[in-house]
Amino acid sequence: MDVTTARERLEEMLAELDRSIAVLQGDPVAIRERSAADAGSDLTDADRAQAMVTVATTQRRAVVEALKRLDEGVYGECVDCASPVPEGRLEARPEAARCVQCQAKRERRR
């Protein structure tokens, strides 16, 4: 994936995440836009919204960091071992910071 495409996709993701976070945090305009949202869950709306804010905020941070790596010219390199992150992985997750091996290692540690 070339850096222009990567940047476009990351910026789209960032805009989308900002919108989702605003909705979840109760921006009234955004809430009106998606008033017919999903129903049915064991969690209360507030719990669910909080959980989603956490996920969205974590992902947003990953996207911002990926954009920073684009600026620094190191996008597509694993932040741990500096080997190239496979193309297919970046296609699926443009914000991916690590190669598959380092990500697996990291998740095992958690």
Q: Which residues bind Zn ion (CB under 5 A)?
A: 78, 80-81, 99, 102
Q: 63 vs 78, which CB is nearer to Zn ion?
A: 78
Q: 């990291």: which residue's tokens?
A: 106
Query: Nearest distance from residue 71's CB to Zn ion, in Å?
Result: 21
CA 48 – CA 52 distance, rounded (Å) = 6
Strand partners, 84: 77
Q: 49 vs 102, which CB is nearer to Zn ion?
A: 102
CA 75 – CA 2 distance, rounded (Å) = 10
Q: 3 vs 82, which CB is nearer to Zn ion?
A: 82
Query: Nearest distance from residue 96's CB to Zn ion, in Å?
Result: 10
Query: Nearest distance from residue 95's CB to Zn ion, in Å?
Result: 15
Under a CB-based contact definition with an 8 Å cutoff, are residues 85 and 96 in contact? yes
